[in-house]
Amino acid sequence: MAVKDIMDALRKEHVDNTPLSELVKDIKLVGSTLEIVFRLPQKHLEEEIRRKTVQALESVPDVEKVNVRFVEGPPAQFLQAPVFQRRKVQGVKHLIAVGSGKGGVGKSTVAVNLALALSRLGARTGLLDADIYGPSVPTMLGLKGQRVYVNDQNKIIPLEKFGLKTLSIGFLLPSEDTPVIWRGPMLMKALTQFLFDVEWGELDVLVLDLPPGTGDVQLTLAQNVDMSGAIIVTTPQDVALADVRKATSMFKEVGIPVLGVIENMAYFVCPESGKKYYIFGKGKVLEFAQAYGLKILGSIPIDPQVAEGSDLGLPIVEAYPHSEVAQAFLGIARLVLEELNRR
Ligand SMILES: Nc1ncnc2c1ncn2[C@@H]1O[C@H](COP(=O)(O)OP(=O)(O)OP(=O)(O)O)[C@@H](O)[C@H]1O
């Protein structure tokens, strides 16, 4: 795979003790011409980066010409900490964001089942549905139509289901079909209230289901909230992987560690023959993850029971804890806890 070869080659060259691969903002191979954009930490490094890039890529097959461009701005490791005034959510030990570069890859399904798996492993867990454009947690947890209340201290009391504390913007809307039309500052105010004015009690992990993509909402949250890390959900489709790259860069740029990638809809097991079919392609996520130095936390197959469970308000980890999918989520949850305990 050309991108992997390119990133491997760039990883070997350094400027100011930083591998060139860490400075890459965007990379595109058009025919045999590589368009590569670097974040320029310091102006005087421009020539050195250009020279070392051409040198590093000389032996990479498929690349005949290299066009190097720069954008201003240092990558995360060049920034002085603390960069942003990040607020901690009271009572929450670890906040982890579940994001995706693209909509419809199963981010909310993963967030819900991961939260349930964490809870099954004994972690006191909460789930916050910040997907303001399409809150699906109320349906997935069978809490559609429920409302939340505010206590004497003006704090929102989350709902509880399957041992999880949970809050969704869906619980605050007058009806399920009310579109959220908040924009800009009003939206951010609502989201901030959503995070900080909630009586979560004591939690080991709060899973934050982000809206899909890498827009202002995701960036503002990433800049203002103290997070232990982010998890990115993708399918093996090329288009989804291209967007993962953007999501990864966004978290890296604001200094939030990416704990790993979860590959959803990785394959389908034929119930008759037991044969595995890699509908969206095999091994692509692994190659991608290796190229970007990311860990794969696990792979979830396509299973009609997953979709069914979500629609019925009985997620698969709760409904069929011994199924292959539920076991995969438990495996991911174990890795996530290990990763968090190391921090
Ligand atoms: N592993 C899976 N097997 C079968 N169906 C799945 C799987 N993962 C997700 N789905 C189904 O795919 C659809 C999209 O999933 P989900 O709503 O979780 O995606 P999303 O990325 O959160 O979407 P959005 O971008 O709209 O927030 C849902 O109908 C869900 O039930």
Can you tell me the distance from the alpha carbon of 167 to that of 162, in angstroms, rounded to the nearest whole number? 13
Residue nearest to atom 23 of ligand 1 (CA): 104
- pLDDT, tens digit, 9 for 90 and up, residues 53-112: 999 998 888 788 899 999 876 655 444 444 456 788 999 999 999 999 888 899 999 999
Start-end of CATH 3.40.50.300 domains in the chain: 92-342
Atom of ligand 1 nearest to the CA of 209: 22
241 CA to centre of ligand 1 in angstroms: 16
Query: Do the annotations mark residue 213 as ligand-binding?
Result: no
Sign of the Cα pseudo-torsion (160, 133, 243, 92, in order): negative
Cα distances (Å, whole numbers) of residue 53 to 15, 34, 259: 10, 11, 28
pLDDT (0 to 100) of residue 186: 67
Q: Which residues line ligand 1 (CB under 6 A)?
A: 100, 103-109, 131, 134, 136, 212, 264-265, 300, 302-303, 306-307, 310
What rounded mean pLDDT belongs to the chain?
86
Query: Do the annotations mark residue 104 as ligand-binding?
Result: yes
Cis (ω within 30 of 0) for the bond into 82? Answer: yes
pLDDT (0 to 100) of residue 131: 79
- pLDDT, tens digit, 9 for 90 and up, residues 26-43: 777 777 888 888 888 788
* Burial environment of residue 328 by CB neighbours within 10 A (0 to 12, 13 to 18, 19 or more): buried
Q: Which residue has the higher pLDDT, 289 or 164?
A: 164
Structure tokens at 105: 């890859």
The answer on pLDDT for 118 being more than 90 is: yes
Confidence check on the interface: ipTM exceeds 0.90, yes or no:
yes
Whether domain 2-73 has CATH 3.30.300.130: yes
226 close to 87: Cβ distance less than 8 angstroms: yes
- pLDDT, tens digit, 9 for 90 and up, residues 169-184: 888 766 656 655 555 6
User: Which range, 14-23, 67-76, 119-128, has the best average confidence (pLDDT)?
Assistant: 119-128
pLDDT (0 to 100) of residue 84: 53
Residue nearest to atom 3 of ligand 1 (CA): 302
Atom of ligand 1 nearest to the CA of 305: 4
pLDDT (0 to 100) of residue 81: 40
* Burial environment of residue 321 by CB neighbours within 10 A (0 to 12, 13 to 18, 19 or more): middle
Structure tokens at 190: 């609502």
Residues 279-294 have a mean pLDDT of: 85
Atom of ligand 1 nearest to the CA of 264: 1
Can you tell me the distance from the alpha carbon of 288 to that of 296, in angstroms, rounded to the nearest whole number? 10
Structure tokens at 286: 């692994």
- pLDDT, tens digit, 9 for 90 and up, residues 309-333: 999 999 999 999 999 999 999 999 9
Residue nearest to atom 25 of ligand 1 (CA): 103
CATH value of 92-342 in 3.40.50.720, 3.90.550.10, 3.40.50.300, 3.30.540.10: 3.40.50.300
Start-end of CATH 3.30.300.130 domains in the chain: 2-73
Q: Nearest CA to 294 among 306, 285, 282?
A: 285
Can you tell me the distance from the alpha carbon of 229 to that of 245, in angstroms, rounded to the nearest whole number? 16
Query: Do the annotations mark residue 105 as ligand-binding?
Result: yes
The answer on pLDDT for 124 being more than 70 is: yes
What residue spans of 197-323 are helical by DSSP H? Answer: 216-224, 238-253, 284-291, 304-312, 316-319
Residue to substitute in 263, 310, 311, 327 for testing ligand 1 pocket (most ligand atoms within 8 angstroms of CB): 310
pLDDT (0 to 100) of residue 228: 94
- pLDDT, tens digit, 9 for 90 and up, residues 189-219: 777 778 888 999 999 999 999 988 877 778 7
Query: Do the annotations mark residue 201 as ligand-binding?
Result: no
pLDDT (0 to 100) of residue 185: 64
Least confident of 177-181, 233-237, 335-339: 177-181
Can you tell me the distance from the alpha carbon of 205 to that of 125, in angstroms, rounded to the nearest whole number? 5
Atom of ligand 1 nearest to the CA of 300: 1
Can you tell me the distance from the alpha carbon of 127 to that of 280, in angstroms, rounded to the nearest whole number? 29
CA 100 from centre of chain: 5
The answer on pLDDT for 151 being more than 80 is: yes
